[in-house]
Chain A
Amino acid sequence: MSQHPQQIASIIAIHQDRPGALLPMLHAIQDATGFIPPESIAQIASALNLSSAEVHGVISFYHYFRISAPAPHQIQICCAEACQSMGADRLMQHATAVNSTDFSVHPVYCLGLCANSPAMMIDEQLHARVTTEKFAKLISGLRSAS
């Protein structure tokens, strides 16, 4: 299913000689294709003289990396203490109750907007002081866009 084998090969070639190449390489692949196709793992491993198990181990260790195609939009809701003190739990419950194929909702532990909680990020767009009304408005924007 890998629709990007050539693209991935060129990304590997760009990064493979850097010191500590694996994370920059994984970031570049995920930025380009939206995720790290499982069938690219052997290719990455071979370029870096690692075992596939090692590469898989790194991918699965970090919350940021994923190995399947994501929903069109990623919503990250901060669930850490500062946002909890301003009702992040309610926002998270509200958000996960909305069923949609347009986006998926994930918890994140701190977006650095702790003085303007609760906070969330849609793709790379940050939003602060998010009420359930503001959330509804933001996701209706996503739906009309996609």
Chain B
Amino acid sequence: MSFTIFVPADSAALALGADDVASAIRDEAARRNITVTLVRNGSRGMLWLEPMIEVQTAKGRLAYGPVEAADVTTLFDADFISGGAHPLCLGLTEELAYLKNQQRLTFARVGITDPLSLEDYLAHDGYKGLRSALTMKPAAIVQQVTESGLRGRGGAAFPTGIKWQTVLKAEASQKYIVCNADEGDSGTFADRMLMEGDPFTLIEGMTIAALAVGATQGYLYVRSEYPHAIRVLNKAILLARAAGYLGEDILNSGKTFELEVRKAAGAYVCGEETAMLESIEGRRGIVRAKPPLPAIEGLFGQPTVINNVISLASVPVILDKGAAYYKDYGMGRSRGTLPFQLAGNIKQGGLIEKAFGVTLRELLYDYGGGSYTGRAIKAVQVGGPLGAYLPESQWDTPMDYEAYTALWAVLGHGGIVAHDDTADMAKLARYAMEFCAIESCGKCTPCRIGAVRGVEVMDKIIAGQTAQLTLLEDLCDTMLHGSMCAMGGMTPYPVLSALKHFPQDFRQPLPNPLPKGEGTIALSPSGGKLDKGESLCESHINQNAGEQHA
């Protein structure tokens, strides 16, 4: 009799010793003459339980975690392979409240299948979206995506269907699909988990995008900090090509789509879409002026669809189950689900895919179980290093793009970083400026010089020169309105929100540190985050347009 055991090969599990656990299981099974099949799956996303191993039982998959290599002998003693009782047993995976209460559409297979088994992918509804797309005209595919209400999950939240429509209409001999997988925001790991845990979904989504707009070449721009994701994607591309899902004449349709991984080189600003294009073309990652939009003149001057990993990976389910199915989730103009990433000082961190409309308090306490340190949570940064810090009074607002805009905050890529009451918000504001100074591409003055001045001013404020606060506000105003992209244009979000909500940390309470019109003007209608690159500059343009209308 053979037993199937799942040991995740997700980076988070590996960082906590999953490889040691896997080899301990192999050794112990051999010692006991037991035949086991080890599947190296992705992570289920309950990251505080990693390495969380599972065994297949008649009732379903049973979870044990967090498992260390040293626990393996006692697990075998307890006959865990047949579902035996053990202190680390968590029960049936699907029944765990953290997972059971999620709405997994994009992450439906992550943690369940073997990421590099095409057979497993097909057995779990894989490539149904592509098969459906192959029966449709390009305009009909674009129509489905538009009707689903899908908006760019990188942070800018630009409607994906409208972007595709622009590329479809553009006349050119060559068009491109570029996946922005430069997930540089602290507190985010959804792209990484998806690429490592279900790479075929992303490949399928990109292939559908190619069919929709008439592109024949795609690039996946992946951060150098994600070596495991790069390895998995490269293997998955080879497997998909060998099986006829990529390359020439995809599934005998006569359509061609080639796909290649491009490794980034550690520049955060390359998450901004035009800087990313420069990087793929072999240059410094310097932001381009827009217009022209990349949809018209993008990679190598050709019409280019640029989407984030999660946007593209959400396309197969839309094409398989229909736009209405996807659109049924969510609220207002934020349709579908967002994979929230709960991180930082939190007891039960992980990935929670939920429809828009969930509140931060639910995520922090019902899922997260409060802070890791057991102290009170003081501030929560949502949307990466360019996102605002939210105080407790804002944790009951439904998480939706527009509701967050009204708070002068952003949902971004769904990253949530909790800080306990030992956090010094002035120090974090200084860090936001410092990060911008390190990562600025240097093209525009407000960002390049503003960030350096911001660090200097913050140092003076921290040293007690509170008169400098006026200068800080002026500086932020210049960066906010004068920067070319979200790098400089959104660095004021963490700085000013920290100042507004936690003035005691800056030594002197200020009545209203936000720019004029706060609360009435949509500063960033779509929210934004630099590294997912769905048109942050578009977001910035919209931002300016919004102000003109106001």
Give chain A's interface residues, CB within 8 Å of chain B.
19-24, 26-27, 48, 54, 57-58, 61-65, 76, 78, 80-86, 108-117, 119, 121, 124, 126-129
Contacting residues of chain B (394-441) with chain A, CB-CB under 8 angstroms: 415, 417-420, 423, 428, 431, 435, 438-439
Give 11 A-B contacts (CB < 8 Å), ordered by A residue: A22-B283, A58-B283, A81-B417, A108-B225, A108-B266, A110-B188, A112-B192, A113-B12, A116-B47, A117-B345, A124-B227
A41 to chain B, nearest CB (A): 14
Give the residue among B184, B185, B225 with the most A Cβ atoms within 10 A: B225
If A64-B265, A81-B186 are given as contacts, then 4 extra A-B residue pairs at C-beta distance below 8 Å, sorted by A number, are A80-B186, A108-B266, A112-B188, A115-B341
**In the assembly, what is the distance between CA of A19 and CA of B279, in Å?**
12
CB distance from A65 to the nearest CB of B (A): 6
Asked if A115 and B47 make an inter-chain contact with CB atoms under 8 angstroms apart, the answer reads yes
Cβ–Cβ contact A82 & B187, under 8 A: yes
CB distance from B293 to the nearest CB of A (A): 20
Q: Specify the chain A residue showing the minimal Cβ separation from B47.
A: A115
Give the chain B neighbours of A119 by CB distance below 8 A: 15
**Quick check: B385 and A81 within 8 Å, CB to CB?**
yes
Residues of B within 8 A of A109 (CB): 184, 186, 268, 385, 435, 438-439
Do A63 and B266 have beta carbons less than 8 Å apart? yes
Known: A81-B381, A114-B417. A19 touches B349 (CB 8 A): no
- Shortest distance between the CB of A75 and any CB in chain B (Å): 14
Cα of A22 to Cα of B285 in the assembled complex, Å: 13
Q: What is the bound-complex CA distance between A65 and B344, given in angstroms?
A: 29
Q: Say yes or no for B343: interface residue by CB 8 A criterion.
A: yes
- Judge if B267 is at the interface, Cβ distance under 8 Å: yes
A58 to B124, CA, bound (A): 43
- The 10 lowest CB-CB distance pairs between A and B, nearest first, are A115-B349, A80-B186, A22-B282, A114-B343, A62-B265, A63-B266, A64-B266, A126-B15, A128-B15, A64-B265
Instruction: Tell me the nearest residue of chain A to B176, going by C-beta.
Output: A19
Known pairs A22-B282, A64-B265, A86-B344; A115 contacts B12 (CB<8 A): yes
Task: Across the interface, name the chain B residue whose C-beta is closest to A76.
Answer: B225
Nearest A residue to B280 via CB reads A20
Q: B6 near A: Cβ within 8 Å?
A: no
What is the CA–CA distance of A21 and B184 in the complex, to the nearest angstrom? 23
